[in-house]
Amino acid sequence: MTVTPLRERKAYQALERHHGEIARHHLRKLFSEDPGRGERLTAEAVGIYLDYSKNRITDETVRLLLELAVESNVAGRRDDMFAGKHINVSEDRAVLHVALRMPRGTSLVVDGVDVVKEVKAFLGARAHSCEEAGFARQRIAIDPGFGFGKTQAHNLELLRRLDEIAGDWPLAVGVSRKSMVARIVGRPDGDRLAGSMALAVLAVLRGALIIRAHDVAATVDALRAVAVFERSAEAQGTEANEIGT
């Protein structure tokens, strides 16, 4: 499919002409001519308030930007991103931005593979085999195996849906100092402590009972802090219920 270069798109060219018309306008002039822009040129959602009125922008600018978004098929590309399609054309792969942010109960299928379902089925079968071989159920734990031939998209999807993987078996997670941590936080390979602890906390909050870590003391401190917070929140909830009754 041939894609029209950005600067050759009609909406972009109209936006360039518009920029030439308002580029020298001062904000004082824009507010003087349009006193209501401070209330109108805003947006609010999920607790975030965005005020873009104090930029060199008008209603016409917004209209032209929306036209450019339509001509550029932004909505379609967004849907392709959530569907795991290869929208990173320079590397011919899916992008990973949404892997940890998708709603629970949804799947990120990359190249036709729902890695979480595959891992869960495999680990469940192996755990049952151990039980049939005589191992006590309480001595069996499953580990999704972050890394080990998985892509970064697979690793992030496993982390996001850990609670689905656990099922009837205790869940062990080992992400400490792994390359996936360096790629997530954008740090050099030797600087993975903070990222490792963050993922350990996330894993526990999503059902992990066993954490394998290199930096044990720091990881324990982080998990203790979260545990104290969780207990405090539960106590406050109980107290509120008692007051309500």
The position carrying tokens 């993975």 is 192
Rounded to whole angstroms, how far apart are CA atoms 4 and 241?
60
Q: What angle (nearest 5°) sits at the alpha carbon of residue 157, between those of residues 156 and 161?
A: 120
The residue extents of the domains of the chain are 6-72, 115-244
234: its two tokens: 């539960």
pTM metric for this prediction = 0.51
Q: How confident is the model at residue 244 (pLDDT cuts 50, 70, 90)?
A: low
Other CB atoms within 10 Å distance of the CB of residue 193: 17
pLDDT value at 154 more than 60? yes
Q: Tell me which residue of 140, 143, 115, 122 sits closest to 130, measured CA to CA.
A: 140
CB atoms closer than 10 angstroms to residue 212: 14
Q: Beta-carbon neighbour count of residue 17 at 10 Å? A: 10
Stronger pLDDT, 141 or 245, i.e. the higher one: 141
* Secondary structure letter of residue 210 according to DSSP: E
What gap in Å lies between CA 83 and CA 153, rounded to an integer?
A: 12
Q: What is the pLDDT of residue 8?
A: 95
Q: What is the pLDDT of residue 224?
A: 93
Mean pLDDT on 160-188: 83
**Nearest-angstrom CA–CA distance, 16 and 100:** 36
Q: What's the whole-number mean pLDDT along residues 169-197?
A: 86
In Å, how far are 32, 200, 233 from 36, measured between CA atoms? Answer: 9, 48, 42
Quote the mean pLDDT of the chain. Answer: 84
Is residue 98 very low, low, confident or very high in pLDDT (cuts 50, 70, 90)?
low
Q: From CA 206, how far away is CA 42, in angstroms rounded?
A: 36
Separation CA 193–CA 208 (nearest Å): 19
Strand 42-45 relative to strand 48-51: parallel, antiparallel, unpaired?
antiparallel
Bridge partners for 80 per DSSP: none
One CATH from 3.20.20.20, 3.30.70.1150, 3.40.50.300, 3.40.250.10 for 115-244: 3.20.20.20
The top-scoring range by mean pLDDT among 90-99, 112-121, 122-131 is 122-131
Q: How far is CA 108 from the centre of its chain?
A: 11
C-alpha pair distances (Å), 81 with each of 54, 75, 78, 98 = 31, 10, 5, 8
Q: What is the mean pLDDT of residues 96-104?
A: 58
Percentage of the chain beyond pLDDT 70 is 87
As a whole number, mean pLDDT of residues 18-38 equals: 94
pLDDT in tens, 160-171: 888 887 767 888
Q: Over the stretch 199-233, which tens digit does the pLDDT of each residue have?
A: 999 999 888 999 999 999 999 999 999 899 888 76
- Residues with Cβ within 8 Å of 176's Cβ and at least 6 positions away in sequence, in order, are 192, 196, 200, 211, 212, 213, 214, 215, 219
* 238 vs 26 pLDDT, higher one: 26
